[in-house]
Structure 1
Amino acid sequence: MEQGLPAVKGFIQQVVEAIAAAIGIEVMVFDLNRNIVAGTGETRVQVGHRFNKGSLTGRVLEHGQPLVARTPGQSLECMSCSRYGTCSRYIVAAFPITVKEKVLGSFCLVAINNQQKDIILANEDGLLRFLERMCLLIASAISERQIQQELNIMLNKYDNVVNSVHEGIISTDYVGNVIHLNRSAINLLGIDNEEIIGKQLTKLFPEFPDIKTFTKHKSTEIEISYSLKKKKKRYFLAVVVPVLTGENGNIQGITISFRNLSEVQSYATKLVGYGKYSFDDILGDSQCVLEVKSKLRRAALTDATILIRGESGTGKELFAHAVHNYSRRSQGPFVAINCSAIPESLLESELFGYEEGAFTGARKGGKPGKFELARGGTLFLDEIGDMPLHLQSKLLRVLENHSIERVGGTDTIPIDVRIIAATNRNLEEMIDKYEFRSDLYYRLSVIPVVIPPLRERKEDIFILIKYFLEKYCNKLDRECQILDECARERLYRYPWYGNVRELQNAIEYAISMSEPGQTILLEHLPQSLLAYHDELVNDVELSGDEAKGKGLKDNREPTTRLRAMEIEAIREALKKFGTTTEGKEKAAQFLGISLATLYRRLKDNEIIS
């Protein structure tokens, strides 16, 4: 990047030509290295050449003082010049060009004949003042150019910073026309820069409020929706709107920053959690589902403890989220903990928190537990049937006293939390076996709710299938696929031991195994569904005439046969994936059940030691 006089040499050349034409004297301008930057007449051809160090202009550049040589080549000022005694100039007047007290060059009037010499001598003082003003003009142009260059550098740095942030950023003028947007905004919104620059912000966001409605000197946080036309998707954006005001206090524009709301919520969930689902997100038109939703809506309006029961995969946590969002606590946190997924030794500190030094490895300053994190909101205790007995008694005291003590602490901490518990275990049977406290059971089941298994609400299966097809095709950026009649019939008749979760996994599997746009066939369904059908056919054949002719008869009850088939499916999955922890995780996923449920099935049926 050119600096100093060379940066404005085009402007200087225009100035010297105008001066030469006005006063009839040749003009030369030198930079700090004695190079001729601009010239007129015969000196113009010398632009770019360098004068010797001992020249008159060299002395002006060195000392920063104006000089006049009335007899160039013979004057004392010219004795150091290599052209001393041979110089063809008649008179030379040189004046330094300075910017911020730093010499950057010199401006010279040069007489190349007696007529021009007479003009200079007749008005020497006036021409020197004129030279000074011309030097100030050039210095001003240089300063302006430097300021512009510094501004450009600053703008480039700003651009780099703005384009490096993850948030989308859009700036508008005082009437709402877009004047700038960063790279993240372009990527998030799927648009080109030219599509929106100069256009109203409401073209992007039709529901965006009028600029005049925003409060001066304050940032506003809003949530708006945006439709990504290229992919036919609808997003929700979390937007922060700071207002820009002028010296008179009038709004000059706004700069909005935004992120996809799902990212914001994902980050918030890691910190505390929130209620992600409402009752509208719970799919199903069956009478039993509608009754459950109606009952939980009424329960949500109270702070009574709720016990949600149901098989694995029925969506118990989904209902818990819906209760939270329908309650007066909806603006508070929703904190969930799975009592079976956390080792017994850690569960107490996870629930109640701990003080510094409570145990080896305890964090300095201690750590709040789930009860404290859920203050003002809802705490969801999933798999409550797997909570150890000693913690059951501690939980009972919390429900009775509405206060906790951290592990290793003595202070009583009051809590304001609504408890929702869930289990797929038979708590009554566990009470008989002294595995679950009866007093805690009654405290938890103030409002008991049973979520029906999917096989008892067959009319909801196709509603769920349609939803999962759209969800996973959209996730893979595919057009929505359909099922052929045989596959639909097989899905409808399957008993769905893993309930909605297993159906969800089956649809995702089928889409993954099929080609984009292809109709989903039987061959694309999970092996467990096909194996069930084959077993069912064998049962029917064995109970037919051929079986009777062979003296064979299956006297097992239907539920016993289903249990046997379930055991066989688990055996096959373990055979396929292995009995390591990782293998069991894959087997559970393959079967459409949780890992905790798989461990219970293994224990209950003594499948492996």
Structure 2
Amino acid sequence: MNTIEALREKLALYERIFDNINAGVLVIDARGYITHFNEPYGRFLNLDPKAQIGRHCTEVVENTRMHIVARTGKAEINHSHRINGQDMVVQRIPIKKDGKVIAVYGQVMFRDVAEVRDLAEQLSLLESKVQLFEKELFDLRATRYTFDCIIGDSDAITGLKQEAAKAAATHSSVLITGESGTGKELFAQAIHNAGPRKLHPFVKINCAAIPRDLLESELFGYDKGAFTGAGTKGKPGRFELAGKGTIFLDEIGDLPLEMQPKLLRVLEDKAFERIGGTRVIRSDFRVISATNRDLAKMMATNRFRRDLFYRLNVIPIHIPPLRERPEDILPLAKHMLKKIVKEAGRPAVKIEKTASRALVRYSWPGNARELSNVLERAMYASGSGTICTADLPFISASGRNVSGRPSEPSLKTARDAAQIAAIHKALAQTGYNKARAAKLLGIHRTLLYKKMKKYNIGLTPEQAPDET
């Protein structure tokens, strides 16, 4: 084989390689005229590749910068370029000899027109999802709790808010204790949102709600193939997601004993590995934990590690139950009722003063959570704009507080309860005028007196309705 034939075969091989590059490729000389133009680029632009040889690049490719790169000699790598109404990724690489540009290699990244179209559609879908998630995130952040959401006039709540505000200015661990329903998560969010990490995530995990065998993967995440059923791409854990923000470990007293040393190690090192992974992940998070359990008793019986307790309990905050701060009950009830009424789309609702006193006298074993439930039930039970004593679910037919345990149903009990409710409503609607109330009820005033005495329904000037 002679030299010329060998060169022809080599040139033909180069042309086949050039035309099989899975991207659009063209080459220009130093003046901007096209010397090479491959077939995939021709198909994309719907042009004859051979017919473009010798034409200036600005005549063939819209918005091209190939001739500019030929002039400046500076490469442009992974730049965006809009061609045929589509945003493409391009490379423009100057070819130099003896320090001078003799050509420019240009490449447009794509496979084929159909795939580019599919990718564009997928990108559009992803952009829409991102916009949706951004809106949801904005809505969630708009309803987050702050110290203004903590309602109460008692010295206890005022002091707690001051302690929590001081804790918010630090990066130390906070342990919030208190009975169920006292508002531990509300305080946790308020501390986060008042501190230097407020622009970063507040990530919550309920240690009692997640099964033991899934808790470790929820906290630390997992790599692909880490265990049967693991996702193909792996999943970040809560500590990873909370980077630079706050992780809220709710119900920390229910954390399994075997998980406690692992949690302690992460809190001390601020580093961990995903399940099935080998890469050490570092995350700058703050920890706020909460529990309704007595951790001191649990430590005494070796159900909670002392070293973990000391790591969590740097700043302790104890929220007293509602029964120990009765002066907070009515302000909290009024605040809750306004919110409940607004969400239900109803007009303003009043609380009768006798009902207000019943709320204050009740022991509230479920604390603020029970108070919210009672108010919502009473609003629907009243059927009017005033909540009376008989509308409160913890009031018996005799008008006395009960523990809340269901009693045996009877026609007499139901009849008595209905009469009590009717009398209270009539009195409230008539401004506590007994004659008008009796007329409204359709009975004689003497009978109204008898029934009020029977059901222990008092009437004094201060028992007028109290607006919320």
TM over 0.5: yes
Match 1:281 to one of 144, 149, 174: 149
Which TM-score applies when normalising by structure 2? 0.56
Q: Is the 8 A contact 2:212 2:256 kept in 1?
A: yes
- 2:276 pairs with 403, 408, 417, which one? 408
The Cα shift of 1:522 comes to 2.1
Q: Distance in 1 between matches of 2:275 and 2:398?
A: 49
Does residue 524 in structure 1 map to residue 395 in structure 2? no
Could you tell me how far apart the structure 1 residues matched to 2:353 and 2:244 are? 50
Matches within 5 A, 1:65-214: none
Q: Distance in 2 between matches of 1:514 and 1:346?
A: 45
1:264 aligns with 2:135: yes
- The match for 1:435 among 303, 306, 313 is 303
Q: Does 1:297 align with 2:141?
A: no
Q: SS at the partner of 1:413?
A: strand
- How do 1:324-363 residues align onto structure 2 when only pairs under 5 Å count? 324-363=192-231
Equivalent pair of 1:274/1:332 in contact (CA under 8 Å):
no
Distance 1:532 1:505, change over 3 A: farther
Does 1:306 find its partner at 2:166? no
Structure 2 contact 246–288 (Cα < 8 Å) conserved? yes
Match 1:467 to one of 315, 335, 345: 335
Deviation at residue 317 of structure 1 after TM alignment: 0.3
Q: String of CA shifts for 1:502-533, please: whole Å, max 9, x gaps.
A: 1011111111222243x11122212x454997
Query: CA, structure 1 residues 533+426, in 2 after alignment: closer, same or farther (shift >3 Å)?
Result: farther
User: Kindly, what percent of the aligned residue pairs are identical?
Assistant: 51
C-alpha deviation, 1:457, in angstroms? 1.1
1:483 alignment partner, SS class:
strand
What is the match of residue 453 of structure 1? 321
Larger Rg: 1
CA distance in 1 between counterparts of 2:398 and 2:214 reads 40
Which AA in structure 1 matches 2:341?
A: C
Match of 1:500 in 2: 368
Distance 1:406 1:263, change over 3 A: closer
In structure 2, relative to structure 1, the CA distance for the partners of 1:468 and 1:274 (3 Å cut) is closer
Bigger relative contact order, structure 1 or 2, given CA contacts below 8 A and separation 6+? Answer: 2
Partner SS, residue 341 of structure 2: helix
Residue-pair matches, total: 280
1:365-412 deviations in whole A, cap 9, x for unaligned? 100011111111100000000000111110100111111111122221
Kindly state the Cα deviation for residue 266 of structure 1 after the two structures are TM-superposed.
5.7
- CA gap 1:520/1:409 in 2 versus in 1, 3 angstroms: same
CA–CA distance in 1 between the matches of 2:134 and 2:268?
A: 38
The equivalent residue for 1:482 is 350
Q: Please, what is the CA RMSD of the aligned residues?
A: 2.8
Give the C-alpha shift of residue 345 in structure 1: 1.1
Q: Is the 8 A contact 1:334 1:374 kept in 2?
A: yes
Quote how far apart the aligned CAs of 1:264 are. 2.9
Change (3 A) 1:275 1:383: farther
- 1:6-17 superposed matches below 5 A: none
- CA offsets per residue over residues 107-153 of structure 1, 9 Å max, x none? xxxxxxxxxxxxxxxxxxxxxxxxxxxxxxxxxxxxxxxxxxxxxxx
For the residue of structure 2 that corresponds to 1:508, the secondary structure is helix
Q: Which runs of 5+ in 2 are unaligned?
A: 1-131, 410-468
Q: What residue in structure 2 maps to residue 29 of structure 1?
A: none
Amino acid aligned to 1:419: V
Contact 2:395 2:401 in 1 (8 A): no
Match of 2:45 in 1: none
State the one-letter code of the partner of 2:210: I
**1:419, distance to aligned residue in structure 2 (A):** 0.2
